[in-house]
A and B are shown apart, each in its own frame.
Chain A
């Protein structure tokens, strides 16, 4: 299995690069339609609401609410196999709840993703983004409960 790329490493291409650059700087960035002002996610070369005007990038508050969550159990791929079960959340952003970012919920900053118990997770709970440097110079957003 060591020949397999680590699924925790995202593909950074010209569409996703500004998002991950934002994470490195501790900012949650998403695209915005330059004509309608609507948020666009996942990032792409065109705005579906104004395809002739290139989308811009904006930094959002990093606050949102848990829209749903799932708890994968093994068998999975490394490095997730060894860590399961863990909680994966979909977070609806405060600025636009139809943008639901997938991520991991942590009980405390610096915790491993498997530390939180599923019973502690509730749909609708407010969360905020923090950032965690993983391997290869890549930083991913994580989520912690607010309050």
Chain B
């Protein structure tokens, strides 16, 4: 069993900026070394790796740069922002089954200064054949289509999306490392912002960031001897629903019931933590509408109630379910959601800049709208 068999014992990250000079490779290595140093584990002990298929630096490069030992487990997970907790989950399974002893997960990305994937020199292919020729080009265009339908079916409004953007921005305003630390956001600014793709405006979109993050996973017995308070991987799930079509999920019975629903079923199957027991959540927020969809998928409210859940300060510190307490992808940094993992760990260590009093359980999710992953973390 996976339950509490492993723990995250180290986290590390570079600074975040619109533009950083070092290469993605150098940034990756710096984040990994910082995470190992945080754990008090020597690089030579690393024998497992997991990252995203979109990661540009492979395990060979990482291992030879940081001075890893003989590596016996390496895994990559597909679907961009769907991968994050999946990387930790794969390492947890590998450590729990003895395939490796010290696993490192990481993501390094220069999305701030580098290429926009949607603008790449690629001809329309596979799913894109059915969407790009009509001008549905960017991820935001694909999500805007689902968002409009969600608003229509459930009476959600831009006020609800603003609730998400403002809650997450306020968390960033308390986090000196966040890109938006010094930039306040008012409801008036949100409502008058320029459109990116109607019904989504500038503040419904995540940041464009250069940066890298990493974490270290070991067995629970080993974790007790590490430098930091262990944060246990209580449960983990991945989700690829029947007849799912990634972000252009328009050809299935129920496009608004996304991968989160499939992932949640597995996540809670072996879990002692129920949605009502979750103290704080780090929900993947490339776009604000992913928050109501994720709140529904992971069982914090009923279908169609996700927008209403954002009311009454529910998502804020002191509210019913504080989310994205470092500022998330919308306001701290967008590194394919890896900052949500590290912030989940900080919450359970008690070191967040928006600390939820006495937090003992944290949900961390990956991108809703693509084949996804999630994990429940707990402190001792």
Chain A residues within 8 Å of B, Cβ to Cβ:
3-5, 7-12, 16, 41-42, 48, 67-73, 76-77, 80, 83-86, 88, 90, 98-104, 113, 118, 123, 140
Kindly state the separation between the CA atoms of A4 and B250 in the bound complex, as whole angstroms.
27
Q: Verify B145–A11 contact, CB threshold 8 A.
A: no
Q: Verify B194–A73 contact, CB threshold 8 A.
A: yes
Interfacial chain B residues near A11, Cβ < 8 Å: 123-126, 128-129
Q: Verify B121–A4 contact, CB threshold 8 A.
A: yes
Interfacial chain A residues near B134, Cβ < 8 Å: 88, 102-104, 113, 140
B150, closest chain A residue (CB): A68
Interfacial chain B residues near A84, Cβ < 8 Å: 135
Number of A-B contacts (CB under 8 A): 119
Given contacts A98-B252, A98-B253, contact A73 B130 (CB under 8 A): no
Interfacial chain A residues near B252, Cβ < 8 Å: 98
Q: Verify B152–A68 contact, CB threshold 8 A.
A: yes
Give chain B's interface residue range (CB within 8 Å of chain A): 35 or more
Q: Which of A5, A48, A72 contacts B135 (CB 8 A)?
A: A72
B135, closest chain A residue (CB): A80
Interfacial chain B residues near A69, Cβ < 8 Å: 145, 148
Q: Verify A102–B124 contact, CB threshold 8 A.
A: no
Q: Verify A9–B124 contact, CB threshold 8 A.
A: yes
Q: Verify B133–A140 contact, CB threshold 8 A.
A: yes
B243 at interface, CB cutoff 8 A: yes
Query: Chain B 142-175 against A: per-residue CB contact (8 Å), 1 yes, 0 no?
Result: 0011101100100000000000000000000000
Interfacial chain A residues near B126, Cβ < 8 Å: 11
Chain B residues within 8 Å of A, Cβ to Cβ:
119, 121-138, 141, 144-146, 148-149, 152, 194-199, 243, 245, 248, 250-253, 255
Q: Which of A7, A68, A100 contacts B251 (CB 8 A)?
A: A100
* Listed A/B pairs (7) with beta-carbon separation below 8 Å: A5-B124, A70-B144, A83-B135, A88-B135, A100-B255, A101-B130, A104-B135
Q: Verify B197–A71 contact, CB threshold 8 A.
A: yes
Q: Verify A76–B137 contact, CB threshold 8 A.
A: yes
For residue B148, give the distance in angstroms from its CB to the closest CB of chain A. Answer: 5
Given contacts A48-B243, A73-B198, A86-B135, contact A68 B148 (CB under 8 A): yes
Q: Which of B133, B196, B251 contacts A99 (CB 8 A)?
A: B251
Interfacial chain B residues near A9, Cβ < 8 Å: 123-124, 133
B142, closest chain A residue (CB): A70
Kindly state the separation between the CA atoms of A40 and B271 in the bound complex, as whole angstroms.
37
Q: Verify B132–A7 contact, CB threshold 8 A.
A: yes
Q: Which of B136, B243, B255 contacts A88 (CB 8 A)?
A: B136
Interfacial chain A residues near B144, Cβ < 8 Å: 70-72
Q: Which of A42, A85, A88, A98 contacts B127 (CB 8 A)?
A: A42
Q: Verify B127–A67 contact, CB threshold 8 A.
A: no
Kindly state the separation between the CA atoms of A113 and B136 in the bound complex, as whole angstroms.
13
Q: Which of B124, B138, B145 contacts A10 (CB 8 A)?
A: B124
B123, closest chain A residue (CB): A5
Q: Verify B197–A5 contact, CB threshold 8 A.
A: no
Kindly state the separation between the CA atoms of A67 and B199 in the bound complex, as whole angstroms.
15
